[in-house]
Amino acid sequence: MSKPERNVILFEDILARNKKANVLFLNYDNEAFMNTGVQESGATPPYASTTTGPGGEKIPGKIGIKQDLVTPFAFFGTKSLFLATANPAYPADFMGKVADALKSNGSAFIQTYSDCMRGWRHDAGDAASISKLATDCGYWPLYTIRVKDGIPTFSYYRGLDIDKEKFVEYLKSMGKFKHLFKPRFMEKEIDEIIYFTEQRNLKLKGLIEQFGAEKPVDFYKVNRRTLKPQDHLHPGHGLCPGCGAGMVLNQMATVATAIAGNNIIYVNNTSCAEVSTSKDFVGSWKVPWVHHLFESGATIADGISTTYKILKAKGLYKGEVPYVIHIGGDGSTYDIGFQFLKAALIRTSSFVEMNEYLANQK
Amino acid sequence: MSIEPMKLFFKEIKEPIETAMIGNYAVAGGVTQTDPDVVCAFPITPQTQSVEGLSDVVHQGRLKAAFVNVESELAAISYSTAACAAGARTFTATASQGYLLMSEGLPMPVGWRVPLTMMISARAFNAPNISIWNSWEYVITDYGWNCIVSENVQETYDASILSVMISDNSLFPTMFVHDGFIISHSVQKLWLTPDEIVRNLTPKKPRHTITPERPGVWGGLVTPDFFMEGRMGLDVAKKSVLNVMKKSFDEFGKATGRHYNLIETYNLDNSSKTAFITMGSMCGNIISWMTKNKDIGLIKIRAYRPFPYEELQKIVQEHNIEKLIILEKSDSLNNLLPPFSTSIATALYPLNTIFRSFIVGLGGRDVTRDEFDITKRKMKSVNDMKGQLYTYLGVRESKNKIHEVDL
Q: Which chain B residues contact residue A340 at CB under 8 A?
A: 71, 75, 78
Q: Which chain A residues contact residue B112 at CB under 8 A?
A: none
Cβ atoms within 10 Å, residue B204: 15
CA distances to A47, A162, B264 from A178, rounded to whole Å, are 10, 21, 72
> Within an 8 Å CB–CB cutoff, is residue A308 touching chain B?
yes
Q: Do A279 and B83 touch (CB under 8 A)?
A: no
Q: How confident is the model at residue B168 (pLDDT cuts 50, 70, 90)?
A: very high
> Within an 8 Å CB–CB cutoff, is residue A234 touching chain B?
no
Cβ atoms within 10 Å, residue B336: 12
Chain A residue with minimal CA distance to B214? A288
> Within an 8 Å CB–CB cutoff, is residue B229 touching chain A?
no
Domain count, chain A: 1
Residue A352: what pLDDT?
Answer: 55
For chain A, what is the total number of helices (H) and then of strands (E)? 12, 10
CA distances to A170, B166, B173, B220, B301 from B112, rounded to whole Å, are 45, 16, 10, 11, 27
Any domain includes A311: yes
Model pTM score: 0.96
Phi, psi for residue B169 in degrees, rounded to 5: -85, -25
A residues 9-38 closer than 8 Å to B (CB): none
Q: Which of B210, B226, B229 best tests the A interface by mutation, with the highest count of A CBs <10 A? A: B210
> Within an 8 Å CB–CB cutoff, is residue A175 touching chain B?
no
Distance from CA of B122 to the nearest CA of A (A): 25
Chain A residue with minimal CA distance to B90? A307
3-state secondary structure of A20: coil
CATH number, domain with residue A167: 3.40.50
Q: Do B74 and A296 touch (CB under 8 A)?
A: yes
> Within an 8 Å CB–CB cutoff, is residue A323 touching chain B?
no
Q: How confident is the model at residue B2 (pLDDT cuts 50, 70, 90)?
A: confident
> Which of A291, A319, A347 comes nearest B219 by C-beta?
A291
Any domain includes A342: yes
> Which of A262, A280, A295 comes nearest B223 by C-beta?
A280
> Which of B64, B70, B221 comes nearest A314 by C-beta?
B64
Q: Dump the DSSP string for B81-93.
A: HHHHHTT--EEEE
B155 closest CA partner among B9, B12, B264, B34? B264
Q: Do B71 and A340 touch (CB under 8 A)?
A: yes
3-state secondary structure of A342: helix
Chain A residue with minimal CA distance to B87? A307
Any domain includes A150: yes
> Which of B83, B204, B213 comes nearest A306 by C-beta?
B83
Q: Do B222 and A286 touch (CB under 8 A)?
A: no
> Within an 8 Å CB–CB cutoff, is residue B83 touching chain A?
yes
Cα–Cα distance measured from residue A117 to residue A122, given in angstroms and rounded to the nearest whole number = 5
A residues 199-218 closer than 8 Å to B (CB): none
DSSP A226: G
Cβ–Cβ pairs < 8 A, chains A and B: 149
List beta partners, residue B179: B122
List beta partners, residue B40: B68
Residue A355: what pLDDT?
Answer: 61
Before B107, cis peptide (omega within 30)? no
> Within an 8 Å CB–CB cutoff, is residue A300 touching chain B?
yes
Domain B8-256: assigned CATH number: 3.40.50.970
The domain in which residue A294 lies consists of 6-360
> Within an 8 Å CB–CB cutoff, is residue B27 touching chain A?
no
Q: Which of A23, A239, A267, A296 best tests the B interface by mutation, with the highest count of B CBs <10 A? A: A296
Average pLDDT over residues B331-356: 96
> Which of B70, B88, B212 comes nearest A299 by C-beta?
B70
Averaged confidence pLDDT in chain B = 96
Q: Do A304 and B86 touch (CB under 8 A)?
A: yes
Before B203, cis peptide (omega within 30)? no
Q: Which run of H or E residues covers position A277?
A: helix A272-277
Residue A281: what pLDDT?
Answer: 86
Any domain includes A1: no
Cα–Cα distance measured from residue B59 to residue B37, given in angstroms and rounded to the nearest whole number = 13
Residue A4: what pLDDT?
Answer: 87
User: pLDDT 10s per residue in chain A (362 long)?
Assistant: 568 899 999 999 999 999 999 999 999 999 999 999 999 999 999 999 999 999 999 999 999 999 999 999 999 999 999 999 999 999 999 999 999 999 999 999 999 999 999 999 999 999 999 999 999 999 999 999 999 999 999 999 999 999 999 999 999 999 999 999 999 999 999 999 999 999 999 999 999 999 999 999 999 999 989 999 999 999 889 999 999 999 999 999 999 999 999 999 999 999 999 999 998 888 999 999 999 999 999 999 999 999 999 999 999 999 999 999 999 999 899 999 999 999 999 999 976 556 667 666 54
> Within an 8 Å CB–CB cutoff, is residue B127 touching chain A?
no
Distance from CA of A105 to the nearest CA of B (A): 19
> Which of B61, B83, B219 comes nearest A290 by C-beta?
B219
- Residues of CATH 3.40.50.920 domain(s) within chain B? 263-402
Chain A residue with minimal CA distance to B81? A300
CATH class as words, domain B263-402: alpha beta
Residue A3: what pLDDT?
Answer: 81
Chain A residue with minimal CA distance to B103? A293
Cα–Cα distance measured from residue A351 to residue A50, given in angstroms and rounded to the nearest whole number = 40
CA distances to B168, B260, B265 from B251, rounded to whole Å, are 14, 10, 20
Q: Which of A277, A299, A346, A355 best tests the B interface by mutation, with the highest count of B CBs <10 A? A: A299
Q: Do A293 and B78 touch (CB under 8 A)?
A: yes
- β-strand pairing of B188-192 with B17-21: antiparallel
Any domain includes A291: yes
pLDDT digits (tens, 9 = 90+) for B229-266: 999 999 999 999 999 999 999 999 999 999 999 999 99
> Within an 8 Å CB–CB cutoff, is residue A312 touching chain B?
no
A residues 247-276 closer than 8 Å to B (CB): 262-265, 274-275
Residue A360: what pLDDT?
Answer: 64
- Residues of CATH 3.40.50.970 domain(s) within chain B? 8-256
Asked if residue B222 has pLDDT above 90, the reply is yes
Q: Dump the DSSP string for A162-198.
A: --HHHHHHHHHTSGGGGGGTSSS--HHHHHHHHHHHH
